[in-house]
Structure 1
Amino acid sequence: MSTPIPDGPSRPFLFLHVGDQHLTVRGARNHADLAAIFDQIAGFGRDAFDFVYLPGDIAENGAGEEYALIAEILRAHPTLPVLLIPGDHDRQYGAMDAFGEFHTAVMAERHPPVVNALLQPPAAPNREPERKLIPQYYFRHDAGAVRCLFLDMISAGYGQKGMGLDFRLGPDQLAWLGDEVSQAAREGKTCAVFMHTYPDDLEKKEAEDVAGLFWTQGVRLAEMGHTHYNELAHDGRTTYASGRSVGQNEDGSVGYAAGAIDDGEVSWRFRPLDRTAPFVLITAPADRRLATRALRADASGRIAVRAVVLSDATPARCRCRVDRGPWHAMDRAAEGSVYEARVPWPPGARLLEVEATDPRWPGYGPDHIDHDVIEPADRIFLTPDRPDKPGSDACSLGAWLEKGVRGDQLGPNRAGRDW
């Protein structure tokens, strides 16, 4: 029912992250919200972004009737590029048969599973563990200059409901990951990894290996679910971004995140479903909190500004300004959702703002007008030291309200309700 996704265009790499769905029954609030999110995303047009990412926990109980709900939504949008991985709830009761059937029917044409012989937990004391052929759902997808690696942290795990759910990659996937990350570096590609949760949540030895790999090889982005809240953590080389859950949501308005990589630098912002179009994401320059290099200016002191504007209608106007100074018009690039300008960046400047106005804006009020505001990096950038705990939320940036990050870690896996 799906078609392969072609390589991405020359515009900034852009994906939309729809958080953990936890689907249960038809007509539940999260089921209706998920359908509304897909309807809204489809209105942007196929060329506005590279793909839609589902980070796992699609079904609350890993049941076939729960996957039927997401399959129905995907059938309603057959040309929408969707890429997904499993989460721990997709193995909620120790098996992934229903997820496997859903994947075979809906997703296998885009990314078929890899079958590996994995050690199973010992069946009894003093018995050697046995190997079993297990499908794992990891794969690679290239989007222009960005290599996207999607990990399966679930299928190799030993745990089950009531006995502890653990996260593992297994030796085959771990070796594959190392090869792919190293190859991306050799080819000069920016590497982004899509996984269910922080590397730190993996089995201890794997956690150390994956976090070390990301740091030493300069993986630029790790995009995750599981937390149920929006969070950005940055260790100077890798941005770790987790998105708010669609189901079991207590972090604020339901919605989805837009993440981008533009010339090797990451940008990210959450869009609530109840906000009107348009939606603005500045992709260049990088904010100082996510930057990995100094701000670049030309000989005349001007910087390149780029922003993605997502909407179901062409904006009536897109413009930018520095420190609430004069506005500068931004021109629409060849790729329809991207707007560009070159503007003076004087010494000591701090804020960059991009504003997009929808044709439906009445001239007042917050509807049909949107702003993104960042603090670009300085022209001097100091290479950071290796963090004490790479691959974790130890480098969390805390609250960043302009990006939709509240910083309270309000979710069932940290400080929220026991769902």
Structure 2
Amino acid sequence: MSTATALVALPVAALSACSSGDESVQPAPLPAPPAEDDAGQFSVQLGPRPYYLVADMEEGELKEKLLSCSEGPFQRTDFSIGHRGACMQFPEHTRESYEAAARMGAGIVECDVTFTKDRKLVCRHAQCDLHTTTNILTIPELAEKCSEPFAPADAEAGTPASAKCCTSDITLAEFKRLCGKMDSANPDAATALEYMAATPTFRTDLYASCGTLLTHAESIELFSSLGVKFTPELKVPEVEMPYEGEYEQQDFAQQMIDEYKAADIDPKQVFAQSFSLDDVLYWLAREPEFGAQAVYLDERVDTAEGYEEAVSGMQRLADQGVKIIAPPMFALVTLDGKGRIVPSDYAEAAKAAGLDIITWTLERSGPLASGGGYYYQSVTDSIDNDGDTMVMLDVLARDVGVRGVFSDWPATVTYYASCMGL
């Protein structure tokens, strides 16, 4: 077997193993909480990665400080937010990913919220990502319901392999038959299995044989059992709204909050998020206890014009009642004349307007030798090794003053926060 064949064979085998489509096979029940230690808190376990990052740092005061904390104690902290769980190594938005995030000390964990064909709320990063995050393409009777069935790559025509499978294509009962997998797709694939077997090299399929998918309500139950807080993100629908002519955006926004109320969750434990300012304003007006700490996810910064608009409009946001803003990391930092990472105009404007800041997403870039890509784009010239993860984190915490950091591997943020007393 060639090396290339071996790289594909492992994830394909795993996908095949969890794709029987047998309706009698049900996901395992939600687990009991992990055993508590003597202090009444789940013991936090970080594993080797934070130590690898600290060892890779350039010599200096920050490295010495972080090295001094190597033996802990490490504690759960709201500064550490599990982005889709702990999806560097576990399939995102699965029970296994969420449990890993809690064990790594994340004090807040995220369920991105979308809806099925029968309008049940489930945890998925996007309404139409089932073809890249689950094994739906291996279950014929469900694959045929996809908005766009799998189409192989056509080199002659210059078209990549493609598919589009949405939660709104299937019912909740059908959704629960799926297995979560690492988010990936192979544009050169000739078959559905090849299309699905494309996990990035810095992630792994070791824990992806069949990730357990959850409804939003099940995530609330699980997070409660784990003792973590909630940060649900109301995803932008990819179907026309009102859905089926009657399900309005505000119905969707209200349904998400209603599931916390039905579970008797304290609103202060919930950080509802949206990229739509209208959703945040709706919660402020209709559910003020939840709206008080709703998070406006700011993607305007992806363009130069949007960035300037965001900087100049911070006070207007505050005047509308927004309390927490959350841009990607690069928007909060820039380089000074000496090439050091410092707070950006955006960060200064947000603080001047009295807004709290959360940011995303640490540990999503893979190896940093080539500058870190999207999340580090404003400081690329200063990023050249994995240890710079800790440098970025330190600037965000101490100089920008963020109140929390989303991470694909929460242990890294937990190590830093425990060391710095956050």
> TM-score interval w.r.t. the shorter chain?
0.3 to 0.5
Larger RCO, structures 1/2 (Cα 8 Å, 6+ apart):
2
Structure (1 or 2) with the greater helix fraction:
2
